[in-house]
Amino acid sequence: KQEVTQIPAALSVPEGENLVLNCSFTDSAIYNLQWFRQDPGKGLTSLLLIQSSQREQTSGRLNASLDKSSGRSTLYIAASQPGDSATYLCAYRMKTSYDKVIFGPGTSLSVIP
């Protein structure tokens, strides 16, 4: 059974802090892994996509890493801002059925001004 866990479930930090969100998955044969952002009342927005052959991707203050052997990915947010407050979800595609995306439950982030 494909399963994704995200720790912590919720996180509250003061503005300016660097933080790490964790994602663990049970399926080692992944095709790629994505990090999404979800704002209340809105859909999901893709932040970063890491192919199985890559180890990390960066976009601005965001850096995502992938360790297939341990079944883990981390999303690093540098110098957090109140506008970063949202729920962050990781999701992966399997090699055997890469039309399907398996989502984690998300980490709810609150950045306090």
Partner 1 sequence: EAGVAQSPRYKIIEKRQSVAFWCNPISGHATLYWYQQILGQGPKLLIQFQNNGVVDDSQLPKDRFSAERLKGVDSTLKIQPAKLEDSAVYLCASSLAPPRWGAETQYFGPGTRLLVL
What does the binding site for partner 1 look like in residue numbers (CB under 8 A)?
4, 32, 34, 41-46, 49, 89, 91, 93, 98-106
Query: Following DSSP, what letter does each residue of 18-38 receive, concatenated?
Result: -EEEEEEES-S-EEEEEEEEE
Nearer to partner 1, 49 or 62 (CB): 49
Measured between its terminal Cα atoms, the distance across the chain in Å is: 41
3 state DSSP class of 15: coil
Pairing of strands 107-112, 10-14: parallel
Q: How far is the CB of 104 from partner 1 (least distance, A)?
A: 5
Nearer to partner 1, 28 or 45 (CB): 45
Q: How far is the CB of 111 from partner 1 (least distance, A)?
A: 21
Nearer to partner 1, 9 or 79 (CB): 9
Nearer to partner 1, 41 or 83 (CB): 41
Q: How far is the CB of 107 from partner 1 (least distance, A)?
A: 11
To 10 degrees, the CA torsion angle through 108, 50, 29, 27?
Answer: -10
